[in-house]
Amino acid sequence: NAGVTQTPKFRVLKTGQSMTLLCAQDMNHEYMYWYRQDPGMGLRLIHYSVGEGTTAKGEVPDGYNVSRLKKQNFLLGLESAAPSQTSVYFCASSTGQGYGYTFGSGTRLTVV
């Protein structure tokens, strides 16, 4: 069982470049989430999805876009990367039935 898989694991971008982070889950979970983790800030919700074809904004959505075209995949896009988006990004999924999330192992992104 792979659980939640994130690609890539590491990436360095120049300011203004774009990229897409991929998240795939094989647990048939309805709900998926993107969080960013910064030192001393814990995990902050960027965007989330409650099912295929749906997305919604979280706490810190500015500068990011998402898509959930297939139930198992949740994509996070940065259209024009900024140094403030240097962070570790985590994808998570859940059944939405009151249980905890299953997290991926993260993508470490550096914007220079």
Partner 1 sequence: GQQLNQSPQSMFIQEGEDVSMNCTSSSIFNTWLWYKQDPGEGPVLLIALYKAGELTSNGRLTAQFGITRKDSFLNISASIPSDVGIYFCAGRHTGTASKLTFGTGTRLQVTL
Residue ranges in contact with partner 1 by CB under 8 A: 4, 31, 33, 35, 40-45, 48, 50, 56, 58-60, 90, 92, 94, 96-106
3-state helix, strand, coil in the chain (%, to 5): 5, 50, 45
Q: Shortest Cβ distance from residue 97 to partner 1 (Å)?
A: 8
Q: Shortest Cβ distance from residue 109 to partner 1 (Å)?
A: 14
Q: Shortest Cβ distance from residue 31 to partner 1 (Å)?
A: 5
- Gap between the Cα atoms of 30 and 72, Å rounded: 8
Minimum CB distance to partner 1 smaller for 84 or for 105: 105
Minimum CB distance to partner 1 smaller for 17 or for 72: 72
- Gap between the Cα atoms of 66 and 77, Å rounded: 6
**What is residue 29's DSSP assignment?**
-
C-alpha 47: how far from its chain's center? 7
Minimum CB distance to partner 1 smaller for 17 or for 45: 45
